[in-house]
Structure 1
Amino acid sequence: MWKITVKRFEDAARKFLNPIKDVPFWIGENCKGEIVGVGENQALKKNRRGTEYIEANGGITAKRCSGCGQMMELEHFSNLKAGLGGTRSKCRPCLVEYGKKYNKKRPEYTKRYYEKNGERVRKRARESYARRNGR
């Protein structure tokens, strides 16, 4: 599971970016705290739509987020079968930010939906909370 935030990622990037080589596709640290970058058997590539990704041993290991523009490992992206590497084009923090902006644009719809389906929404939230917290 991912635990790196955009702010923490940017701070880590400034700290560990090699100023001599100035590598633009530096990844950062993974969930285990290990520093990850483009290695000997890895290659930076672009697909036909222009999305940059890192390929290693025939599989995609990292790609650039279309929201924030940061290169991140695939574990920082939500799953989407049709996407590059089986993941969405935006990282999880960018998706959260997009969702907040989208919901602010449509407050009337959100209010009407909650009035109509409030009990279902609360029930789903309780079940999700219980599942996450082992209750």
Structure 2
Amino acid sequence: MGRPRRGDGASDFIPLGVSFATPHDLGSRHAYANFCRAAAVTPLPTGYGMVLGQDLSGRRYTYLIEDVAFARSLGEDGLGNLADATLDALRELRRDGWPDEWELPADLAPLLRGRSRSTTPH
């Protein structure tokens, strides 16, 4: 699984959905702390927004965004407006795969699955 990396190589990233890992979205601070431990990220008071996507070869990635309000606006406004360089410019954390593919505690996987707002890539 590995530790998250600071954004690199987003030029071929196709955003497909937005999901959230916050105490509210996961149902409790305990569930959120478990997510952060499993995802190898530092817990933040407001949590993380996540942009899920893939590169041109189909390899899946997740960008964990510290600005949850920005991530929510992406989900509301549609990801088609997200420029390729935006995620690198924000220097957000990038992980291989999508949250439901990570080794998360069994009680968290269903909470993250089905919470993404997907869009059709342009």
Normalized per residue, which structure has more helix?
1
- TM over 0.5, yes or no? no
TM-score tier after normalising by the smaller chain length: under 0.3
Instruction: Give the TM-score, by structure 2 length.
Output: 0.26
- TM-score, normalised relative to structure 1: 0.24
